[in-house]
Amino acid sequence: MSANPRDPMTPDERRAGVSLAAIFALRMLGLFLILPVFSVHAAHIPGGDNLMLVGLAIGAYGLTQGFLQIAFGAASDRFGRKPVILFGLALFVVGSAVAAMADNIHMVIVGRVLQGAGAISAAVTALAADLTRDQHRTKVMAMIGSSIGLVFALSMVAAPLLYAAIGMSGIFWLTAALALGAMAVVVWVVPDAPPVPRANGGRFADVLRDGQLMRLNLGVFALHLIQTKMWVMVPAALVAAGGLPVAEHWKVYLPAVLVSFVVMVPAIIVAERRNRMKQVFAGAVALLALVQFGFYLAGDRLLPLALLLTLFFVAFNVLEATQPSWISRIAPPHAKGTALGVYNTLQSIGLFLGGMLGGWVGQHFGHGAVNLLCGALALVWLALVAGMKPPPVRSALAPAGG
């Protein structure tokens, strides 16, 4: 039957969206909670006076994520989504426990490596694609992407309070408990996926040969490289522009994230109901470029900075929702997990390189150079998008149980 974008979501599609967003949120909250407080805590443990080791403890998670996303995505094509997600969450629980019991920086690093080894993003996103029809997939991806932005803002508020109440060990134990909660959601709440071709697993070569997929993969690399480059500079800019101490930065982040969600919803509706995915996508990339040039021109004043951050979150959330939805529509059915694994790998590499390059460029050439470089990268990305075909809106049956 034809896919009608005005057909309502089925109960199973709604349950899949909410439950998979909850899995992402529970896991990402556990990760984000350490970011605002770990460098302060590290100064009080053996080896924590070495800033390189402190940086490694924070970044080790993203590094192992980058190495293992493809493997976990391909495994989900071969063995099924839920078993792979549960295995990854179990690794995350073990890593959290190791970090909670660590009495020196080296054991914290071991724990963070194990946390990152649970690279389930591709498998979760592939499961979301399995459980939703094409015309509703962007909504579900938006739920997942929005949950990440929301828990990021929440962690900025909660982390200092939790650290004062339960300490860093308690925060790591909390991350383990949140991951156990996510495992329970997988087992008892997430609907079972309908059968999909998995006999031989995903074919890596099929993904790499697909020009459309690789443009999307390069896009997510650019998006997260820009994001982390930008965040190397944003906290210092908030302090310099508005005299806001780090503990009060949530007063800017939280309203910016919440307003961006309100603006994002109409964009997603237009993309889906009017079949304007490419136009909305290209508009978000163009907005991302304008934000970066805006930071260069007016990023030294608090009000323009807050407005630009809000616009950044609008662009970021739209792109986080539409990119994986687009990939899931054009990826070969037998290699959907593999395709999303490549996607998440380049996302992780972008995160890792963005922080490193942002710090280096900022140190040697100044904050303005970082903004200009990010803007130029966004323009290159926009040129790649211009040559892409809009994703198809295929005929689709309701998911199993719908």
261-270: average pLDDT: 85
Cβ neighbour number for residue 6 with a 10 Å cutoff: 7
pLDDT at 108: 93
Q: How far apart are CA 247 and CA 41, in angstroms?
A: 15
Q: Shortest CA distance to 385 belongs to which of 267, 279, 268, 266?
A: 279
Q: How far apart are CA 123 and CA 72, in angstroms?
A: 7
Tell me which range, 114-118, 257-261, 289-293, 368-372, is most confidently predicted by mean pLDDT. 289-293
- pLDDT digits 0-9 by tens, 90-113: 999 999 999 999 999 999 999 999
What value, to the nearest 5°, has the Cα angle with vertex 312 and ends 308 and 313?
120
- What are the Cα distances from residue 220, in Å, to 19, 144, 375? 24, 16, 15
Largest CA-CA distance found in the chain, in angstroms, rounded: 64
Q: Which phi and psi angles does 72 have, rounded to 5°?
A: -70, -40
Q: How far apart are CA 263 and CA 250, in angstroms?
A: 20
Q: How far apart are CA 287 and CA 385, in angstroms?
A: 13
Q: Is residue 364 pLDDT above 70, yes or no?
A: yes
Query: Residue 125, exposed/middle/buried by CB under 10 A (0-12, 13-18, 19+)?
Result: buried
Instruction: Provide the total of helices (H) and of strands (E) in the chain, helices listed first.
Output: 14, 0
pTM: 0.74
Q: Is residue 394 pLDDT above 70, yes or no?
A: no
Count of alpha carbons within 13 angstroms of residue 116, beta-carbon side: 23
Q: Is residue 22 pLDDT above 90, yes or no?
A: no
The full DSSP string for 266-295 is HHHHHHHHTT-HHHHHHHHHHHHHHHHHHH
- pLDDT digits 0-9 by tens, 128-182: 888 988 777 777 877 787 777 677 767 777 887 888 889 999 999 999 998 999 9
Count of alpha carbons within 13 angstroms of residue 211, beta-carbon side: 5
pLDDT at 63: 78
pLDDT at 230: 75
110-117: average pLDDT: 91
pLDDT at 383: 95
Contact assessment for residue 23 and residue 185, using Cβ atoms and an 8 Å cutoff: yes
Instruction: pLDDT band for 2, please (50, 70, 90 cuts).
Output: very low
Q: Is residue 376 pLDDT above 70, yes or no?
A: yes
Instruction: pLDDT band for 355, please (50, 70, 90 cuts).
Output: low
Q: How far apart are CA 283 and CA 325, in angstroms?
A: 17
Q: How far apart are CA 207 and CA 81, in angstroms?
A: 19
Q: Is residue 75 pLDDT above 80, yes or no?
A: yes
What's the chain's average pLDDT? Answer: 82
Q: At what angle do helices 121-130 and 134-188 cross, to 10 degrees?
A: 120
pLDDT at 288: 96
The full DSSP string for 185-217 is HHHHTSPPPPP---TT---HHHHHT-HHHHHHH
Q: How far apart are CA 219 and CA 238, in angstroms?
A: 28
Q: Is residue 398 pLDDT above 50, yes or no?
A: no
Q: How far apart are CA 93 and CA 100, in angstroms?
A: 10
Q: Is residue 200 pLDDT above 90, yes or no?
A: no
Residue holding tokens 């919440």?
258
**Cα dihedral sign for 316, 318, 320, 323?**
negative
- What are the Cα distances from residue 239, in Å, to 149, 152, 256, 297, 357? 22, 19, 17, 18, 22
Instruction: pLDDT band for 70, please (50, 70, 90 cuts).
Output: confident
Q: Is residue 397 pLDDT above 50, yes or no?
A: no
pLDDT at 393: 60
Tell me which range, 140-154, 213-227, 236-250, 251-265, is most confidently predicted by mean pLDDT. 213-227
